Amino acid sequence: MKKRRSQDTADDIGLVRLDAEIHRCFPLMRELRPQVRESEFLKTVRRLEKGGFRLAYVIEHDDVKAVAGFRVTENLDNGRFMYVDDLVTKPDERSKGYGQRLFDWLIDYAGAHGCGALTLDSGVQRFDAHRFYLRNRMRISSHHFWLAVAGERGHVA
């Protein structure tokens, strides 16, 4: 899918392809995932891409405004669906439409890739995000449970 220039703004929305683009997404991703180290970010994204992970972003005037990490996958419960791992807007740019434009782009991408649903998990403390998801007609369909096991999992308990 190519980058799409919005009709009403100077935004570019599209998939990240180049190493430099991945590096530019790190400051926003760090807002959501503080445990991720800058020195490992590029290598981690490239490794995740082998399993279907993709990064998409909104950029305006050479400034990354919002970032999403996602994958198109399939399971018995949902069939083919998009799972959004990460969705974050630059803190000082929230409520300006960047997150909404990226969310709409994700829905279009999911539909174009044969997905019947878009799903995500959201931390229980992220009330602003929950309002955004509910406003976008998402529903709370389950509880997510998590258990630390031996070894490095990359999660902060």
Q: List, in order of start, the domains of the chain with CATH numbers.
A: 4-135 (3.40.630.30)
Integer CA distances (angstroms), 43 to 14, 15, 48, 52, in order: 20, 17, 9, 15
Give the separation between CA 143 and CA 135, rounded to whole angstroms.
19
Give the separation between CA 7 and CA 112, rounded to whole angstroms.
20
Per-residue pLDDT tens digits for 71-100: 999 999 999 999 999 999 999 999 999 999
Q: What three-state secondary structure class fits 139?
A: coil
Question: Where is pLDDT greater, at 99 or 157?
Answer: 99
Give the separation between CA 53 and CA 70, rounded to whole angstroms.
6
Q: Is the pLDDT of residue 59 over 70?
A: yes
pTM over 0.75: yes
